[in-house]
Chains A and B, each alone.
Chain A
Amino acid sequence: MANRPFDRRSFLRLSAASIGTGALLQFFPSTAHAKTIGSLLGRKTGEAPSPFTVVQLSDTHVGFNGPPDPLGTAAFERAVETINALSTQPDLILFTGDLTHDADDPAEHSKRFARFKEIAGRLRVQKRFFVPGEHDAALDGGSLFREHLGETHRSFDHKGVHFVALDNVSRGRPAVGKEQLAWLKSDVARYSKETPIVVFTHRPLFDLKPEWEWFTSDGDAVMNVLAPFDAVTVLYGHIHREQHTTLANAQHHAARSLIFAFPDPATAAEKKPLPFDAAQPFRNLGIRRITDSGPRLTIDDIELTKREVAGANGVAQLLRQGELS
């Protein structure tokens, strides 16, 4: 079990469990700021700031069929079952891209989108939000994605938090682009700097590993727009592994994929999927818990292969604070 402390500038209490199937996040807007946020957002949504839970799923790659994972959608379907079995359902599900694996034939790719929607549609949680990955939207500029799942970028408020879905793939290159940047600037201009912002997108918004294409060319411009805000959380996928990075006012968290894992970019010589382990088909999946412990956040990463914390019972166990301490 890895345990990592994080400096905390946010007034959010952020608790997260990566369930091997994505990340489960809990948001606890503090009472000290609730009045301010309530006055800002209550008028817009009628919702008072209050604790809530979000699940992030990423890189399901529906339609992928290759040696790194011969099980296709098995992990995705397992994830859906796990989330549905949680005694307390999350408010929102965020999908951070590469929902499908691309195909040269648009008809085949469209079938993969339909299959993705069929599996995602089994989720009990109805509030589901999606951003595209390059496998969904880079070849056709996002046409199929829009046809099946709606616009590639958007924003909404939920219980005191402003959520922004950013598309950094459908231009073909790893970029958000001038138009979306202008939209973002206008979108967040309505909020005070105390408003917590959660961005969800596919690629990292910083230079994590450019030679592995783990970056967004205008990510700095995005973060400059968000720089005035006290607390920014960026949830992303693409890299098929957990990654936690704090830069200035923002915490960036990558979720694991549901198809195969990539190695640690700090130590691996090349970007090559980790081999499939038939004895442990969901190996490299795990549980993450982020706990508020005073002035710092603590993140615990636990492999899902440990029976005592596996599956829905394991997640519920994790959420009862202290049981794994």
Chain B
Amino acid sequence: MKKSLILILFLASLASAQQPAPSRVIEITAKRFEFAPNVVTLRRGEPVTIRLTALDRAHGLLVKPLGVDLDADRGEPDEITITPKAAGSFPAICDHYCGMGHGNMKMTFVVE
């Protein structure tokens, strides 16, 4: 009985150890014509979830080299989990046209 209990506890701890750690979540909000924050720092090899929330109307967040292509409508956040593979500075844009200041709606992802 005691041996069985020890075995169950051992297996439970093993299963727990094998579960991937929850990735860090980075919240980004978008409104005409700005992102907040407008600079985000990631670490190479570390999984991270990018969540985009649109505050006023539909906005996009596109960073092709990082595989980020989000499209959030107001009240409908969009997210993706990525693992950056290379260090560098990556410009991000809103790719959902949102008005005359749309072309200046940018932010930067820095991977260290």
Contacts and interface: CB of A to CB of B under 8 A. Distances in A.
A221 to B, nearest CB: 15
A173 B60 contact: yes
Contacts of B103: 213, 271
Interface size class of B (residues with CB under 8 A): 10 to 19
Given A210-B62, A210-B64, A211-B64, A173 B71 contact: yes
A101 B102 CA distance: 13
A9 B58 CA distance: 42
A97 B106 CA distance: 24
A323 interface: no
A139 interface: yes
A139 B95 contact: no
A210 B91 CA distance: 10
A162 B97 CA distance: 30
Interface size class of A (residues with CB under 8 A): 10 to 19
B96 A173 contact: yes
A172 B57 CA distance: 11
B30 interface: no
Given A102-B99, A134-B97, A172 B64 contact: no
A173 B103 CA distance: 13
Contacts of B100: 101-102, 104
Contacts of A211: 64, 91, 93
B93 A172 contact: no
A217 interface: yes
B58 A172 contact: yes
B34 interface: no
A79 to B, nearest CB: 24
A213 B99 contact: no
A169 interface: yes
Interface in B46-72: 58, 60, 62, 64, 69, 71
Contacts of B95: 173-174, 213, 217
A188 interface: no
Nearest to A103: B100
A169 B99 contact: no
Interface in A195-220: 207, 210-213, 217
Interface string A166-183: 000100111000000000
A138 interface: yes
B99 A104 contact: yes
B57 to A, nearest CB: 9
Interface in B64-103: 64, 69, 71, 91, 93, 95-100, 103
Interface of A: 101-102, 104, 134, 138-139, 169, 172-174, 207, 210-213, 217, 271
22 contacts: A101-B100, A102-B99, A102-B100, A104-B99, A134-B97, A138-B97, A139-B98, A169-B97, A172-B58, A172-B96, A172-B97, A173-B71, A173-B95, A173-B97, A174-B95, A210-B62, A212-B93, A213-B62, A213-B95, A213-B103, A217-B95, A271-B103
Given A104-B100, A217-B69, 7 more contacts: A134-B97, A138-B97, A139-B97, A173-B71, A174-B95, A210-B64, A211-B64
Interface of B: 58, 60, 62, 64, 69, 71, 91, 93, 95-100, 103
